[in-house]
Amino acid sequence: MKRLMFTVVCSCMLAGCVTQQVAIPNNTYDFFAEDVVSKTRKGIDNVERFYAFFNNVENGKRDQVRIVEQTIEGKPIYVDVRYSNSKIDLKMDRSNDTYSDKKIVTTTCNQLNAIEVERRTDYYVSDCSDKEQHIIFSDY
């Protein structure tokens, strides 16, 4: 009986931990599977997660998202975006892209913007420490 009770209590504790996410750390990127927005030639997976992130930034809520875009060759381009304390930390990793400059760009920005261009919306960060604007996502 004690063994059964112990097993039930442990199972309940483990089940409760599975759905929880840890707090967003201040100096590292910790991403979870549900945070990934994947763009392939077949479409966009989990695009709702990006829209939730955009909404959270507009409402001043701390959040982070990883966007993975697949090149024509099937290589990943990683875009990690974290919003906290009115700042947007951006890390764009093109090091796996065969035909890119292989750079990893890291910068801090003050604004996340959206602009409609023909039949898509481009989302970009601006007012960045590197004096550039970076398109982080397009929903086409």
Instruction: Give the pLDDT confidence of 71-104 residue by residue, as tens digits.
Output: 888 888 999 999 999 999 999 999 998 888 888 9
107 part of a folded domain = yes
12 part of a folded domain = no
Phi, psi of 58 (to 5 degrees): -60, -30
In contact, 81 and 62? CB cutoff 8 Å: no
Residue 39, strand partner residues: 44, 69
The pTM is what? Answer: 0.72
Instruction: Give the pLDDT confidence of 13-63 residue by residue, as tens digits.
Output: 444 444 344 444 443 444 455 567 887 777 888 899 999 999 999 999 999
pLDDT at 20: 40
Q: Which domain holds residue 133?
A: 27-138
pLDDT at 35: 65
3 part of a folded domain = no
The gap between the terminal CA atoms of the chain, to the nearest Å, is 58
3-state class (DSSP) for residue 6: helix
22 part of a folded domain = no
